[in-house]
Homo-oligomer: A and B are copies of this chain.
Amino acid sequence: MIIVLKEKIAENVAKIEKLFAGQKQIFVHRNRVAVVGASLADLPAEIKQAATELIDKTPAAVQASRLFHPENTVIKTAHSLIGAANMTIMAGPCSVESQEHIFKMAQVAKQGGATVLRGGAFKPRTSPYSFQGLGEAGLKYLRAAADENEMDVITEVMDDEHVPLVAKYTDIFQIGARNMQNFSLLKAVGQTKIPVALKRGMSATIDDLLNAAEYIAAGGNQQIMLIERGIRTFDNKYTRNTFDIGAVPVLQQLTHYPVIVDPSHAAGYWDLVTPLAVAGIAAGASGVIVEIHDDPAHAFSDGPQALKPAAYQVMAQHCQQVQQLVASWK
């Protein structure tokens, strides 16, 4: 249940905490108190009277819910504001391939307006015999390339043991689609104070995604953004995944966390990336994360979906124009 208090908030919060101490998990946000698994029948009349609203049926992912946290979350990093009316571009190669290459790509990303540099140092590859990433060396190059261009870093962390290592280099943890329900990993990043970008699993429902986010929030870290990157459906001849654009407005209704779209993985082919990116922004997303490469044919991974520098600049410009239009509607 969620109790929306109208007066003597600290006092009433204390009463509620005392009432359920040791039995139920309690979360407090401003004048709202969520008690996991409790129902209004458990609440004394006195507290009911201090409330403007009592919500009995609450979603399992209660901290993620706008019922508990109505206003948009905006995540602040050194170089970015992510969420609400802001439009963030995150760009970079799929893999960090070399020091020289990531520096080159960072410059390209920056020119297009990106404030966050992406690049994988630990790669979740379908086959164990594919390139698995440069590891810590890759993280170092990525950090240096971002610093050189006054950008933030986003990079994937693949297991809980790597969290401290990756934390040394990144501004945003990325949790990959395949790990969306790796609960040990979610708990580990939930223990940090570093923002987390959680990618939707290939067959994760909206509720699954929000519950995965709740694992992070339950650890005390509410700096969460959600990434729609396409889902698995019966049709995958011309696109790698099916971009579930309906998830963008649905998530914005349900949760206060920023929603970012990843048209690169959704499309799988570079010439579909820009239409999907602008569509995502038009639908209300707070940003895009895209893959870029100067020589896609020789990319270490995911070449077919990488935008070349010139195409990326066009995409970035179009996204910004759409975002301005969308902002004018509010």
User: Which residues in A have some Cβ–Cβ distance to B below 8 Å?
Assistant: 25, 36-37, 60-61, 124-129, 158-162, 178-179, 181-185, 187, 201-203, 205-208, 211, 214-215, 218, 230-239, 242-246, 248-250, 253-254, 266-267, 271-272, 275-276, 278-284, 318, 321-322, 325-326, 329
Contact = CB atoms under 8 A, between A and B. Distances in A.
A272 B243 contact: no
B184 A159 contact: yes
A125 B36 CA distance: 15
A280 B129 CA distance: 32
A60 B243 contact: no
B129 A218 contact: yes
A237 B251 CA distance: 12
Contacts of A253: 271
Contacts of A162: 184
Of the listed residues A181, A187, A232, A282, the one surrounded by the most CB atoms of chain B closer than 10 A to its CB is: A282
Nearest to A322: B282
Contacts of A60: 126-127, 129
Given A36-B129, A183-B124, A249 B231 contact: no
